[in-house]
């Protein structure tokens, strides 16, 4: 097998300013345990593996792994994988859309104004969190009950609990705990002042397999679910630009819009910064879980 890969920067406002994803092409011969080990080795928030589609509508299939395990969908890996597939010569069956097959189903991707955009998938879980769930999230974030303007489950794969604040400044001021004994997937959003270059500020916090709380630089799945939330509540209309990653020294810019059919689209820049081939691939058959 030829194990080629690309490292793609997604959602960055400029080079090396977004969220990187490693995309492994021609991954047919890899077992899930091997994919997991490779993901740990890259030590990025996600690593993806390109495979032939199993559904006739799809152009390619992808498996998405985090440091904790495989997930059905994630946003920046979707755009990064599509970018890598196109860069390697992929030709969509439909000239207007690329169709990605993943565990969450079929995801439509479009090319818009030099960016890639994915159609936000439906939520797997919605509605208000319980009092206990919200209390735990407040403890993780170090905030009081009066700081929370609204809260809702925004689970489209990773399992986000969304919390809305009164301002972007409040979002940027958060200093969450360093660890938590249970799984954490919290996304926060707050508006910038009217007339700003961006409309909303987002941050995303999740825990790894050891319980360490990590901030994700730029998060497509969260922006997709938050977009639906903001459109549905009237906090946003038609289209807006969101920022994420500022506290980490990144400059993420996410372009979110709702079309005439009510579908939310999430777009961003994608750039390949590293590409190459794994050495010693003949020994991959012996790669197993640590």
Query: For 236-286, what is each residue's pLDDT tens digit?
Result: 998 999 999 999 999 999 999 999 999 999 999 999 999 998 776 555 555
Is a pLDDT exceeding 90 seen at residue 208? no
- Comparing CA positions, the residue from 67, 31, 68, 71 lying closest to residue 51 is 31
pLDDT of residue 290: 47
- pLDDT average, residue stretch 195-212: 94
Contacts of 248 (CB under 8 A, 6+ apart): 215, 217
Backbone angles phi, psi at 241, to 5 degrees: -115, 130
Q: List the catalytic residue out of 31, 46, 97, 201.
A: 46
The more confident residue out of 221 and 26 is 221
- pLDDT average, residue stretch 84-92: 97
Residue 46 annotated among the catalytic residues of the structure: yes
Q: Which domains are present in the chain?
A: 4-119+270-286 (3.10.310.10), 131-265 (3.10.310.10)
pLDDT of residue 289: 46
Is a pLDDT exceeding 90 seen at residue 288? no
- pLDDT average, residue stretch 168-182: 97
Is a pLDDT exceeding 90 seen at residue 158? no
Q: Which residues pair with 61 in a beta bridge?
A: 51, 101
| In contact, 205 and 213? CB cutoff 8 Å | yes
- Comparing CA positions, the residue from 199, 198, 236, 243 lying closest to residue 218 is 243
pLDDT of residue 52: 97
- pLDDT average, residue stretch 21-47: 93
pLDDT digits (tens, 9 = 90+) for 274-284: 999 877 655 55
Distance of alpha carbon 23 from alpha carbon 63, whole angstroms:
10
User: Average pLDDT over the chain, rounded to whole?
Assistant: 94
Q: How far is CA 244 from the centre of its chain?
A: 12
The more confident residue out of 50 and 286 is 50
CA distances from residue 45 to 19, 39, 105, 131, 274 in whole angstroms, order as listed: 9, 9, 21, 29, 17
CA distances from residue 25 to 4, 38, 48, 98, 201 in whole angstroms, order as listed: 6, 13, 9, 17, 33
pLDDT band at 2 (very low <50, low <70, confident <90, very high): low
Q: How many CB atoms lie within 10 A of CB 42?
A: 17
The separation between the first and the last C-alpha atoms of the chain, rounded to the nearest angstrom, is 23
- pLDDT average, residue stretch 3-16: 95
pLDDT digits (tens, 9 = 90+) for 136-147: 999 999 999 999
pLDDT digits (tens, 9 = 90+) for 94-136: 888 999 999 999 999 999 999 999 999 999 999 999 999 999 9
Distance of alpha carbon 60 from alpha carbon 81, whole angstroms:
10
């Amino acid at each position: 097998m030829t194990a080629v890969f690309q490292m793609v920067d997604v959602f960055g406002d400029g080079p090396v300013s977004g969220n990187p994803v490693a995309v492994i092409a021609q991954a047919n011969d890899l077992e899930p345990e091997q994919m997991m080990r490779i993901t740990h080795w890259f030590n990025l928030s996600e690593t993806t593996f390109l495979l032939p589609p199993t559904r006739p509508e799809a152009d390619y299939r992808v498996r998405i792994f985090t440091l904790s395990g495989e997930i059905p969908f994630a946003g920046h890996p979707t755009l990064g994988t599509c970018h890598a597939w196109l860069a390697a010569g992929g030709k969509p069956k439909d000239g207007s859309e690329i169709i990605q097959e993943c565990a969450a189903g079929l995801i439509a991707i479009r090319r818009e104004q030099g960016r890639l955009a994915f159609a936000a998938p439906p939520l797997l879980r919605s509605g208000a969190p319980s009092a206990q769930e919200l209390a735990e999230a407040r403890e993780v974030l170090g905030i009081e009950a009066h700081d929370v303007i609204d809260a809702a489950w925004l689970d489209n794969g990773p399992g986000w609990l969304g919390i809305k604040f009164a301002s972007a400044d409040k979002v940027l001021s958060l200093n969450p705990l360093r660890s938590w004994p249970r799984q954490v997937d919290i996304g926060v959003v707050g508006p910038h002042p009217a007339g700003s270059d961006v409309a909303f500020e987002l941050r995303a916090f999740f825990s790894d397999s050891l319980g360490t709380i990590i901030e994700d630089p730029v998060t497509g799945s969260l922006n997709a679910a938050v977009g639906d939330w903001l459109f549905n509540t009237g906090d946003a209309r038609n289209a807006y630009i969101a920022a994420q990653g500022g506290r980490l020294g990144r400059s993420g810019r996410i372009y979110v819009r709702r079309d005439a059919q009510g579908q939310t689209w999430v777009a961003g820049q994608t750039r390949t910064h590293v590409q190459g081939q794994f050495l010693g691939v003949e020994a991959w058959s012996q790669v197993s879980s640590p």
